[in-house]
Amino acid sequence: MSSPTAGGGPVRDPAQRGAVSLRGVTKRFGDTTAVDQVDLDVRPREFISLLGPSGCGKTTTLRMVSGFERPDEGRVIISGADTTDVPPHRRRVNTVFQSYALFEHMRVAENVAFGLKVKRQDRETISTKVAQALDLVRLGELAERYPAQLSGGQRQRVALARAVVNQPEVLLLDEPLSALDLKLRQAMRHELGRLHTELGMTFIFVTHDQQEAITMSDRIAVMDQGRIHQLGTPTEIYERPASRFVADFIGETNLLDVTLVGTEEGAATVRTPSGEVIGRVQVEGARTGGECVLAVRPQRVVVVAEVAPEPQDCTLFGGVLVDLLFLGDATRATVRLPDGSELVAVRHNEAGTHPFGMLRPGDRVKVGWLHEAACLLDR
Ligand code: ATP
């Protein structure tokens, strides 16, 4: 059992430096269970995102890692040591907040130096570390400015420099990009990726923006109602959602209510409400029968003219094209099936060609997908 030391945080196993584990962590506020029995293992130097809708418990989870909230149940283990009862300033973690929380009356360099001064480091060390941190976020030139003289993106960089200057083992980022406009947000995603690589720190990033999570993370924990629904790489989460909630929350998905007819060698045969039988649907885990939902991404949906030959490895069935929508870089087609449900297909627009050929709204079409593109989930 490790114990807190005066140097800041408990004694640890070096191989665990930067690892974070939550074990059965629960946090209640009155009648609200904000975080409900969460288990999570973040690997050293991993970039992990907590992703989910507003109120799902992301920030509360992060605050239990930082120490600003204490769990009602469960343990928080940081860098191999049980840290549940260690106060925030003794944990080797730092947080970047959405609001930046800069000291407006201090210059940029003074903002970054603040934590080091509190820790009574000597003047030379402070000056070297501040210069390094500002160089890291490419703000060396602006060290003498006040926060009011900076753009939103520059202010966020100061907040980042201030958070990393103490060389924490884990950096916690609570929606740090959400106050920035779209262009800046996209630029800052690259910056954060670069920082993560250069610093070799564990990053735990809270966001409700799936694009942010998908483009930056090694793994994503998708949360809803205080629980983690799925933990996986962006590809796993996108291609193999573990539940209807995840499929619906990450990207656009077609969800068709179907009945399972049978399974063989990891693939299922299902029947749609209008009676079409669809084979070779991917199944994760055993499903024995009954009502399910079939999930398929719009990018994987095939729409062809009624008279077109059936492509290989693809089951097609009949429908009517009810809408074609030009989205700029892509076109979106909506096909209505005989039972009234709709399937959406999205295709990138190539110069000079129409992604859905000569098809027009009102045409009878065939619609389907490559067999491996659909998966079956609980309803
Ligand atoms: P958002 O994306 O909107 O920030 P979130 O996923 O980070 O949401 P949390 O802030 O963790 O969600 O909140 C989870 C639940 O706990 C919500 O229902 C919220 O209202 C509640 N909650 C959070 N903090 C408190 C508090 N200090 N007192 C009472 N209820 C709280």
- Residue 58 in contact with ligand 1 by CB distance below 6 A: yes
As beta bridge partners, residue 241 has none
- Residue 260 in contact with ligand 1 by CB distance below 6 A: no
Q: Give pTM, 2 decimals.
A: 0.85
Measured in Å, residue 70 CA sits from the centre of ligand 1 at: 14
**How far, in Å, CA of 337 to CA of 129, rounded?**
63
Of 66-80, 126-140, 250-264, give the range with the top mean pLDDT. Answer: 66-80
Domain locations along the chain? 14-242, 252-378
Nearest CA to ligand 1 atom 25: 29
Query: Band of the pLDDT at 285, cuts 50, 70, 90?
Result: low
- Work out which ligand 1 atom sits closest to the CA atom of 57: 11
Contact 103, 111 (CB under 8 A): yes
Q: What pLDDT digit, counting tens, does each position of 176-210 carry?
A: 888 777 887 888 888 888 889 988 899 999 999 99
- Work out which ligand 1 atom sits closest to the CA atom of 63: 11
Of 169-173, 179-183, 294-298, give the range with the top mean pLDDT. Answer: 169-173
For 252-378, which CATH class? mainly beta
C-alpha distance from residue 280 to each of 277, 317, 348 (Å): 10, 15, 26
Q: What pLDDT digit, counting tens, does each position of 43-101 carry?
A: 999 999 999 999 999 999 999 999 999 999 999 999 999 999 999 989 999 998 877 78
Nearest CA to ligand 1 atom 17: 55
Query: Band of the pLDDT at 240, cuts 50, 70, 90?
Result: confident
Which residue's entry shows tokens 């800046």? 184
Measured in Å, residue 59 CA sits from the centre of ligand 1 at: 7
- Residue 20 in contact with ligand 1 by CB distance below 6 A: no
Q: What is the CA radius of gyration of the chain?
A: 25
Question: Phi and psi of 243, rounded to 5°?
Answer: -150, 165
CATH superfamily of 14-242: P-loop containing nucleotide triphosphate hydrolases (3.40.50.300)
SS3 state at 77 = strand
